[in-house]
Amino acid sequence: MSHSHLPIRHLVRQIEKSRELRDLGTVSVESDQRTTPERLLTFIEQVAERFEPFQGVARVGFEACHADDAWEIAMFLGEKELMGGATDGRLVPINFRFDLGNLTNCFSKVTGLFWNAFPNSHVCFEDAADLSFVTVEGDVEEYHVRLQLHAAPPDCVGPAFREHCDGRVELV
């Protein structure tokens, strides 16, 4: 099983960006937007380690926001964009497995573990990956967290990396 360090590099970039915004004062605590606490960034890194691509490399992405009663964190593997040849520009999802058994160790306390499935949905089946996802609810120290694990990134997210015909990989 291949385990890549690309997820960690990606998370480090997101954490650095989050810290820069906080340090510049562009995120105000008075508004309902809050920066993700350091402890939750560590939690996100721990969860990212549990994504294992079946082949090649992968890059973990996440979205975190504070809702009324909890931090809501969505995590996923980004797609790769093929560069060159007949499939140039094609976005390819990454097949992976995720260690759900060990996931509970990232929480101080787990209050719920749910598999959300919508096989009888009236939405477009072009994005069928989002019709099934896992949600884990619990506490990470003093923070209440609702973690969602998705099979694919949201539509609005571009590729995580580019794979060239010659095998080179470029982070996006």
Domain residue ranges in the chain: 6-171
Buried b (16+ CB within 10 A) or exposed e, 106-120: bbeebeeeeeeeeee
Instruction: Report the predicted TM-score, pTM, of the whole model to 2 decimal places.
Output: 0.74
Tokens of 49: 């380690």
The pLDDT tens digits along the chain (172 residues) read 444 444 445 555 555 555 555 555 433 333 234 689 999 999 999 999 999 999 888 899 999 999 989 999 999 998 888 999 898 889 988 899 999 999 999 999 999 999 998 877 766 555 555 678 999 999 999 999 999 999 988 878 888 888 898 988 888 8
Buried b (16+ CB within 10 A) or exposed e, 15-38: beebeeeeeeeeeeeeeeeebbbe
